[in-house]
A and B are shown apart, each in its own frame.
Chain A
Amino acid sequence: MTTDTLTPSSPPADNPVSGIDQSSGNFSYDVKYEFDAGSGLSERTVDYISAAKKEAAWIKEFRLKALQTFYAKPMPTHWATAELNEINFDKIRYYLASGQKPKRTWEEVPEDIKRTFERLGIPEQERKFLAGVEAQFDSEAAYSNIKEAVSKQGVIFVNSTEALREHPEIFRKWFGKVIPTGDNKFSALNSAVFSGGSFIYVPPGVKVSHPLQAYFRINAENFGQFERTLIIADEGSEVTYMEGCTAPKFSTSTLHSAVVELVALKGAKIQYITVQNWASNVFNLVTKRGLAHEEAEIKWIDCNIGSRLTMKYPGVVLKGRKARGEVISIALANDGQHQDTGAKMIHAADETTSNIVAKSISVGQGRSTYRGLVHIPRHLKGCKNNTECDALLINSNSRTDTYPAITVRGDANRVQHEASVSKVSEEQIFYMRQRGLTEGQAMSLSVNGFINDLARQFPMEYSVELKRLIDLEMEGSVG
């Protein structure tokens, strides 16, 4: 979906992307919360969340255990940036909800929230298009309408609270199994205070006809968002899930720490697409991992623009023979931003293959980092990995880092990694300027060209949005 309105507000004359309302997604908005766990994190916070959600005892126990793990784990600053220490966990509000039950039809969506969508610039016609969208408004899913066709196929598409309450027999088996609570400090935090997110089950052999979408927003100062997503694709099924984020700019830091678990059973295919554009004060620390069984395929398409610090390394554990994992990653870091992204591929069965293609763009004093892990343990045969990372540096003070880690045991596997760093070709810019483009337009075009082969893998509306986002980010980066 596109989030930009074509409002006729007069843009600056030299704006290469005139006609796009750049203030959209740049607002905050007074919301009255029925539930509010207050600032700071303690067992009481967890008790409060659990009570507000009327959860089963095992979930509360899971949360409390996770809280202890969170306390016990140190910040991973021995390898990650020391900026993490600037997160003040006592100032964050861990749970806010307006209390409404997830809605099934547009008419039931509260007027406030409709106004938010309006402000986001979703045109009237697109709201019908949004019929298949589950929109998360703060902690609770505010709007959820599964297309009739999808529910007829037997697909379950609900939020985390509802899933664990109504369908524990399906979801409990895999909940917290792909990403254990103790995986890292932030997955532990999420496990303690999670709310919202999507839980999806696709029955055997079902090819979901429409991409499932969810819309996330953060809408309160100092308010972290801890959504939890679990997608189970049963044998031979196929599903595509899309998430997109825009967030208002706040004056103090905000934390977003999600956990996304994917399970592709034998022969299933999951494609998970993210276009993320957090405000530049958000810490976006997300753990995403998929478990691919025999001949299953998991593909992450991940695009990170915005945020103050993003740390996100989507991974695939290739557990069954001939499983396949793929990560396509685009990151753009502007002034004051650090995109620390990458991928993890754990090969745990014979003949598993994985592919990682990562492209990053650093603008101004932005910093982009690729961190990768490829692991092929002993006694496996016929495993293959291909990794390519390309970095584009726009300004003379832009920065990029690459830190891959590759372990291969045995003589029957093949791994290759390649990375390059370059700047925008002066000849290209010269050629385009000679044809009448401004330097900014030429730069935008060149950067879009750099990621074009990856952007084409996004669904059309996402790649359009991506192109516009890049145009916006490139503005003012030259000259």
Chain B
Amino acid sequence: MSAATTTTPPPVLGGFTAAAFEAALASSAGAPAWWLERKRAAYERFASLPMPRRNEEPWRFSHLAGLSLDFAPATAPAGPAPTPAELPKFSPVASLEFSGNRLVRSQPLPPDLVRQGVVVTTLGEAARLHPQLLKAHFMAQPQKLGSEKFAALHTAFVEDGAFIYVPRGVALDQPIVVSHASTGGPVFPHTLVVAEENSRATVIDLFTSALPAGAEASPQFACGANDLYVGHGSDLTYVAVQDWSPTTLSFQLNSTVVRRDARVQSLNLHFGARQARHESLSQLQAPGAFSEMLALTVARATQEFDQRTLQLHQAPNTKSDLLYKNVLQDSARTIFSGLIIVDPDAQKTDAYQSNRNLVLSDSAEANSLPGLEIQANDVRCTHGATTSRIDPEQEFYLRSRGLRREEAQELLIFGFFEEALNRLKSEEIHATLRQLLESHLQK
């Protein structure tokens, strides 16, 4: 927590002072004027907003003392960039690798897709070449889940990120992979996806730390966001793997807009960070829209995973299906706070929300706040939340078949995650993520 207390009005800036902001702006001098203008406005907003306070419902159960802004924004990277940790293997159709907010490597799109108009590039490039799209979609959706201050901070300090555009009618079979590595200073990863009418794509976001030697124990800060826009009749799969270093304070603010007859499936895997706040807003804006929101978390040591979701049904005949599963070990904490809002004219809404917590340790703590706000009567809305340990009967059954206790438990934990993984259509992604889960559970 910064020096100013949360009850006094002076701005809480931490290391993100006006001088630091001007220095950051200077480094993106080549950017268009409107982009810089937005950043200035965002900085002012960041500076004017208070830190989250006790008694604020969007922060209920959150460990507020763990929030901090005392991080110095990175200046020019010193020396060679540390080699990023080995990334999970996918076979991408194109990829972008960011390290310390800058693009360090990329695999360009095959020429035929470029000809069809697909764009996979950086935000910096997009600001020059596709300003209209960027203006329309970059951080354009409301922040409804509590992190307005951090969203403004992200906009003010974001240096670069991924810009992905899939034109009308184009279908990509292989995923586009974006990776963001933290290298010691604060990072502001961003991924923006615009899937136009009747298109299809898969985007994978990877968040890892590649800290220079000696920096492993120092506090890290990540403040990321994404914007997914899924146009009429299109189909987007979004997978994110968060594996920041265990000293990281992380914010990830995700926004999804789903248009008529479009479908989006997002799956977030959470492994890393000291304290990770994840906000996910799905806006179902036109009839036939469907959003599937999945998340799997392996919480260990003293980690806190704070996940807030909002399924916003703004049009009739829309559907959303949320499944968040947490495995808690050691003294870990998880918070799931989900809300389904059905607007007054969103009749025939079909919304589901489920939070399942598997607690494996006596000192772990799971908090669930599954909420509904329904203003239309012809709807099907249900939610459920359960918290329990491994079912002793299931464990007994497996042991009676000759499995050791550890084996039986491992199998049951996988079974717990498999329910969400099975919803992925791609065999390859499924297999890679399963391996990833395996390695994190065995750590």
Contact = CB atoms under 8 A, between A and B. Distances in A.
A423 B380 CA distance: 9
Nearest to B389: A411
B374 A399 contact: yes
Contacts of A287: none
Given A397-B344, A401-B371, A401-B372, A378 B382 contact: no
Interface in B90-149: none
A315 B76 CA distance: 58
Given A400-B372, A411-B359, A417 B385 contact: yes
A255 B378 CA distance: 35
B364 A409 contact: yes
Given A397-B375, A417-B370, A408 B384 contact: no
B388 A378 contact: no
A407 B359 CA distance: 12
Nearest to A397: B344
A401 B365 contact: no
B190 to A, nearest CB: 32
A446 to B, nearest CB: 13
Nearest to B351: A421
Contacts of B320: none
B283 to A, nearest CB: 19
Interface string A395-425: 1111111111111111111111111111100
A396 B359 contact: no
B384 A393 contact: no
A233 B388 CA distance: 33
A273 interface: no
Residue of B363, B373, B375, B382 most packed against chain A (CB within 10 A): B375
A375 to B, nearest CB: 10
B28 interface: no
Contact of A405 (B347, B367, B374): B367
A415 B374 CA distance: 24
A402 B365 contact: no
A401 B342 CA distance: 10
B362 interface: yes
Contact of B365 (A400, A409, A420, A422): A409
Contacts of A394: 377
B34 to A, nearest CB: 37
B388 A415 contact: yes
Interface stretch (B56-64, B250-258, B292-300): B56-64
Contact of B383 (A402, A408, A410, A413): A402
A379 interface: yes
B361 interface: yes
A391 interface: yes
Contacts of A399: 373-375
A397 B379 CA distance: 12
Contacts of A407: 61, 365-368
Nearest to A398: B377
Contacts of A417: 368, 370, 383-386
Contact of A411 (B364, B368, B371): B364
B387 interface: yes
Nearest to B370: A404
A404 B57 contact: no
Contacts of A411: 359-362, 364, 389
A152 interface: no
Nearest to A394: B377
B382 A406 contact: no
Nearest to B54: A78
Contact of A404 (B364, B371, B380, B387): B371
A419 B60 CA distance: 21
Interface string B7-47: 00000000000000000000000000000000000000000
B57 A78 contact: yes
A79 interface: yes
B55 interface: yes
A394 B376 CA distance: 10
B365 A408 contact: yes
B382 to A, nearest CB: 4
Given A78-B55, A415-B388, A416-B385, A421 B372 contact: yes
Contacts, number: 131
Nearest to A407: B367
A405 B369 contact: yes
A413 B357 CA distance: 11
A396 B386 contact: no
Interface in B412-432: none
B41 to A, nearest CB: 28
B276 interface: no
Contact of A410 (B61, B359, B371): B359
Contacts of A78: 55-57
Contacts of A410: 359, 361-364
Nearest to A384: B388
Contacts of B369: 403-406
B376 A396 contact: yes
Contacts of A419: 370, 372, 382-384
B201 interface: no
A467 B228 CA distance: 50
A394 B360 CA distance: 43
B387 A406 contact: yes
A417 B355 CA distance: 10
Interface in B263-314: none
A417 B61 CA distance: 18
B381 interface: yes
A371 B373 CA distance: 12
B138 to A, nearest CB: 32
Interface string B316-339: 000000000000000000000000
A346 to B, nearest CB: 15
B381 A408 contact: no
Contact of A393 (B56, B368, B371, B377): B377
A378 B365 contact: yes
Interface string A74-118: 000011000000000000000000000000000000000000000
Contact of A413 (B57, B363, B387): B387
Contact of B385 (A379, A391, A396, A406): A406
Given A410-B359, A416-B386, A421-B372, A396 B377 contact: yes
Contacts of A420: 381-382
Given A378-B362, A409-B363, A411-B360, A404 B388 contact: no
Nearest to B347: A396
Given A404-B370, A412-B389, A395 B362 contact: no
Given A408-B359, A411-B362, A421 B368 contact: no
Contacts of A406: 366-369, 385, 387
B316 to A, nearest CB: 11
A391 B380 CA distance: 11
Nearest to B369: A405
B137 to A, nearest CB: 31
A398 B377 CA distance: 7
Contacts of B387: 406, 408, 413-416
Contacts of B373: 399-401
A219 B61 CA distance: 43
5 contacts: A78-B56, A399-B375, A401-B373, A409-B363, A415-B387
Interface of A: 78-79, 378-379, 391, 393-423
Kindly list the 5 A-B residue pairs having the minimum CB-CB distance in the complex, ordered from nearest.
A393-B377, A402-B372, A408-B387, A411-B389, A421-B381
Given A411-B360, A420-B381, 7 more contacts: A398-B375, A400-B372, A402-B370, A406-B368, A409-B362, A410-B364, A416-B386
Interface of B: 55-57, 60-61, 344, 347, 357, 359-389
